[in-house]
Amino acid sequence: MPRLRDRVAASPSLTTSGAKGVPSFDEASLVAPAVAAVRGLRVSTLDGTELVHGVDLAVRPGEALGVVGESGSGKTLTCRALLGILPAGTRITGGAVLIEGQDLAHADERAWRDVRGRRLGAVFQDPASYINPAVRVGAQLEEVLRVTAGVPRRQTRERARELLDSLGLRDVDLVLRRRVGELSGGMLQRVLIAMALAADPAVLIADEATTALDVTVQAELLDLLRDLRRERGLALILVSHDLAVVSQVCERVLVFRDGAIVEGGATARVLRAPGHPYTRELLAAHAEYGLERYLRS
Amino acid sequence: MSGPGSRANVVVRLWNAGAAVRVALVGLGLIVLVGIFGPALAPYDPLAQDTAIALQGPTLAHWLGTDYVGRDVLSRLLAGAPVSLLAALLAMTIGLVLGAIPGVLSVFAPRIVEWTSLRLVDALLALPFILFAIAFAGLLGNGLWQAMAAIGILLAPGFFRVSRAAALSVTSAQYVEAATLLGASAAWQVRRHVWRSVAPTITVAAIGAIGGALLVVSSLTFLGIGVQPPAPTWGGMLASDLEFLSQRPLGPVAPALAIILTVGALNLLADAARDALGVDAATVRTRAVRARKETAHATSA
Amino acid sequence: MTALLEVEDLSVDLGRAPRVRVLHDVSLRVRPGEVVGVVGESGSGKTTLARAILRAVDASTGRIVVQGREVQALRGRRLRDWRRAGAAQYVFQDPLRSLDPGVRVVDSVAEGLRIAGVPRDEAAARVTAALAAVGLSDELARRRPAELSGGQRQRIAIARALAVEPRLLILDEPVSALDAASRDRVIRALIGLRDAAAGRGDDALGMLVISHDIGSLAAVSDRLVVLYRGRVVEDGLTRDVVSSPRHPYTRLLISSVPLIGVDAPDRAERTALRALVDA
């Protein structure tokens, strides 16, 4: 008897399109309630231009969801809505932002502070700009542990060490003593992942987290993300412009374009038999320029 | 849309910068008019003495009263304006020419020249303005032009530093390096790329420098250096008013206000110019790039 | 066929205290009509290589020969004259920084020609030709860099290099600062240039493309040179380097690239390769 999970993975997906008013059907919600989701999300600028047109996205516990699209497609805005950090000049004009079932779309900053770091963690591109360059990295990680995870002051150093160790960093003590300028992109990103996971959230959002890194370092970080899923049951929302990155890690993928989702479903199915012309375009571009053409025997 | 890269008229951009700036511009405009037409506007001959009406307060006949030998204060103020203003302008110009041009060129000079000029600048900056001006005037004769030359020389290091910093920030830009790789000479770099970024900085520095020079001119004439009485100057008027403070307590107010308001307007204008012209090209570019990254990162992807 | 570019045993030291050797005995060659991709991670010395060839930084030992002329010792006026002659041109990574924000892009494209003293109408014609070669119109070029998309800006930067009609074009991370759509268009533009050069024999444009992204490099390059910690560890036809890499670092690199529809080598293999490489 095939597991429900497998049958779901193998099933064709229904495309969701808020713009056309087709109600969304997320087969994933059959299996377990989503740990983080948006329903019919609409985001607009203050002067009324709609940037995100009714997006549905959900990630179940332990699941890895890939989000693919170019700049301007709405993928980053959706993630920011999930974290309650929409940029100045934009606001949510419709839909719900559900974190463990609770709608925070119009919640105040205090409610979000409880959620950020504790239920949701996030890492972004360009790790160096997210850490204070004047303070040692260890001190900043300890601060996050203290403030977000409530670790007592005396134990923060030890916990910081354990955390970085569990993320596969060698020479942990050395890294903790360093500052931003003395660490490579890969190491910095690991530190940021540590900060994001300090309070053991259920979901990690990685928005183009590996884009600026060397491909060997990217591979190591993707391995790390896979490990984290396995060891902690961490759910993952992996955002990338690179379909291949998403295909390595995620069971389901959503394709964004111009503020809406044009295709979604099991990764294997979407890559094998894409339904929407845009997805086909992306795959064709990849096939034309990717390394695969040299590697197929 | 107006922006640092746009060709919009500088004055138009400044005008649009805010209410305070407009006040400063209008005030400055008035002062410039007074500076040009002052003596013609004076109701009385600034040198005409009439001891009978000496040390009077403001009356209908004499709006700002009379000084210790019965000369009309308003007339003296108006007549004194061009001297002080022109002197300040001259000093600033000397400083600009002596300072800004070497400042920009120092970026392209060989190391040793750079080092030497920087040390020279440091030395000049250490000298106190007024004492140096007095010494200079004493050396070359007690005239206003000598004093202005002295002030100009002391203003030069400030211009040097400011224009050098602006030029450095541009020459480290990649598009300048791109031009170098295309075989550009230093002259080309300055003409084509550096000048456009440096000019706003120098403009702001110049506006501020006029204010500073005006203060020094007033101090010098206060001390009796440069222009001899009975020729009217704001600083000179201040000096004589202080002598007769007990008889006419409000006397110093007129020349003091004239100096304060002019310098104040110039400083306000300098600040506004700095903002409106986006003085530091590198900062502007960084800001623009950061803003672009932010918008791209935030409203898109 | 004389090589357009010959680098022989090039070593470059940078820094003052300490002085560090960034490139060790690097040799490579670019022939007319050929596109050579140099792939390396951050710290591999690839940008230094590009800058050394263009004499933006001094070589410590070795020879650099461009179109038969030794250039490693050029300085001052001779260097400037060589640059004006435009044999080798450079395209920077970030067009937002490499184009003057206050200047219309058409003037930026013409800059090299103006510096070389080319008369106005000839310059205008060459600018139009260069813009066409990268698929941009004269109309678009009247704008300032901030008004263009990333891909358009980068193509302008390429056009600027092409306007002086170089024989050798060196591109440093041409697509890294761009989003997917722009990346595509720039790669297409480069492939277009390569194809246009084919069949021109000795006259054909040669390109040296430097990047950390082996994916986009493989799309345009005929040959690949792999740089690791300042040394060349592999050099061969793209097809060979990708399908049967020899050096452990190349193998690590290839196996780290995320792929679609092809079974990637597993982690254990990558870890083993990493250990080999670090040794």
Could you give the CA distance from residue C223 to residue C239 in angstroms, rounded to a whole number?
8
- The answer to whether the CB of A41 falls within 8 A of the CB of A95 is yes
Strand order of the sheet with strand A260-266?
Answer: A120-123, A203-207, A235-240, A64-68, A252-257, A260-266
Pairing of strands C231-237, C223-228: antiparallel
Q: Place C37 in a pLDDT band, splitting at 50, 70 and 90.
A: very high
Mean pLDDT of B104-122: 87
DSSP string, B28-76: HHHHHHHHHHHHHH-SS-TT---GGGTT----SSSTT-B-TTS-BHHHH
Q: Across the interface, do A90 and B298 touch by the CB < 8 Å criterion?
A: yes
Which SS3 state, helix, strand or coil, does residue C254 take? helix
CB contact under 8 A, C56 and B177: yes
Helix, strand, coil percentages (3-state) for chain A, rounded to 5, are 45, 25, 35
Q: Hey, is A279 helix, strand or coil?
A: helix
CA–CA min distance B282, chain A (Å): 19
The sign of the torsion formed by the CA atoms of C170, C175, C181, C184 equals positive
In angstroms, the CA A69 to CA A85 distance is 20
A166: tokens are 């569990």
A30 CB neighbour count, 10 Å cutoff = 12
Which residue, chain included where needed, has tokens 């002030």?
B151
Q: CA of A146 to nearest chain C CA: how many angstroms apart?
A: 34
Average pLDDT, chain A: 85
Query: Looking at residue C261, what is its pLDDT?
Result: 73
Residue A27 pLDDT exceeds 60 = no
Parallel/antiparallel/unpaired status of strands A90-99 and A102-103: antiparallel
List the single range of B278-287, C230-239, C245-254 with lowest mean pLDDT. Answer: B278-287
User: CB of B272 within 8 A of CB of B279?
Assistant: no
Q: Give φ, ψ of B34 to 5 degrees.
A: -60, -40
> Which of B297, B298, B301 has its CB closest to that of A73?
B301
Lowest mean pLDDT among A80-94, A280-294, C110-124: A280-294
Single-letter code of the amino acid located at B2:
S
C84–B contact, CB cutoff 8 A: yes
In this structure, what are the phi and psi dihedrals at residue C205, rounded to the nearest 5 degrees?
Answer: -70, 135
Q: CB of A46 within 8 Å of any CB in chain C? A: no
Strand partners, A255: A68, A263
> How sure is the predictor about B83, in pLDDT bands with cuts at 50, 70 and 90?
confident
Q: How far is C279 from chain A (nearest CA, A)?
A: 16
ipTM over 0.85: no
Q: Exposed, middle or buried by CB within 10 Å (0-12, 13-18, 19+), for B59? A: exposed
* Residue whose token pair is 């001899």: B228
Find all residues with CB under 8 Å of B145, minimum gap 6, and list them: B90
DSSP string, C73-134: T--HHHHHHHHHHTSEEEE-S-HHHHS-TTS-HHHHHHHHHHHTT--HHHHHHHHHHHHHHT
Q: Tell me if C100 and B193 make a contact (CB, 8 A cut-off).
A: yes
Find the angle CA(B282)-CA(A88)-CA(A106) to the nearest 5 degrees: 165
How would residue A18 be classed by pLDDT, with cut points 50, 70 and 90?
A: very low
Contact B72, B46 (CB under 8 A): yes
Q: How far is CA A206 from CA A105, A113, A119, A277, C230, in A?
A: 21, 19, 14, 26, 32
Token readout for B54 is 């000496």
Of all residues in chain A, the one with the smallest CA distance to C239 is A294
pLDDT at position B11 is: 63
| Cα A139 from Cα A143, distance rounded (Å) | 6
Stretch among A11-20, B249-258, C60-69 having the lowest mean pLDDT? A11-20
In this predicted structure, what is the pLDDT of residue C275?
Answer: 85
pLDDT at A23 over 70: no
H or E element in which residue A55 lies: strand A50-59
Which burial class, exposed, middle or buried, applies to B168 when counting CB atoms under 10 A from its CB (0-12, 13-18, 19+)? middle
With an 8 Å Cβ cutoff, is A181 touching chain C?
no
Q: Is C165 within 8 Å of chain B by CB?
A: no
Displacement of CA B271 from its chain's centroid (Å): 12
CA atoms within 13 A of residue C87's CA, in its CB half-sphere: 18
Residue B293 Rama label (left phi>0; alpha psi -120 to 50; beta): alpha
Tell me, yes or no, if C212 comes closer than 8 A to chain A by beta carbon. Answer: yes
In this prediction, residue B301 has a pLDDT band, given cuts at 50, 70 and 90, of: very low
Domains of chain B: 80-300 (1.10.3720.10)
pLDDT exceeds cutoff 70 at B138: yes
Report the pLDDT value the prediction gives residue C178, as an integer from 0 to 100: 79
For residue C126 the two structure tokens come to 């060459």
Q: Please, which pLDDT band fits residue A17 given cuts at 50, 70 and 90?
A: very low
pLDDT value of residue C31:
92
Cβ of B178 within 8 Å of Cβ of C81? The answer is no
- Three-state DSSP state, A84: coil
CA atoms within 13 A of residue B65's CA, in its CB half-sphere: 18
Q: Which residue of B has its CA nearest to A43?
A: B299
d(CA B221, CA B135): 14
- Which residue did the predictor score with more confidence, B146 or A239? A239
- Dig out the tokens for B79 from the structure: 């007549």
- Which residues in chain B are closer than 8 Å to C164, comparing Cβ atoms? 182
Cis peptide before C166 (omega within 30 of 0): no
The token duo for A222 is 């993707």
pLDDT, tens digit, 9 for 90 and up, residues B40-80? 777 888 788 888 888 877 888 788 888 888 888 888 888 88
B174 burial class (0-12, 13-18, 19+ CB within 10 angstroms)?
A: middle
pLDDT, tens digit, 9 for 90 and up, residues C60-69: 999 999 988 9
Our separate counts of H helices and E strands in chain B read: 12, 0
Among candidate residues A105, A85, A103, A107, the one with its CA nearest the CA of residue A93:
A105
Helix, strand, coil % in chain B, rounded to nearest 5 = 75, 0, 25
Q: What is the pLDDT of residues C199-228, one digit of tens each?
A: 777 778 899 999 988 888 998 999 999 999
Task: Determine the Cα–Cα distance for residues A50 and A91; give it in Å rounded to an integer.
Answer: 10
Contact C201/B at CB under 8 A: no
Q: Do A70 and C187 touch (CB under 8 A)?
A: no
Is the CB of C90 less than 8 angstroms away from the CB of B181? yes
- Number of CB atoms found within 10 A of residue C236's CB: 16
The whole-angstrom distance between C113's CA and the closest CA on chain B is 9
Q: What residues form DSSP beta bridges with C23?
A: C12
What is d(CA C186, CA C153) in angstroms, rounded to the nearest whole number?
10
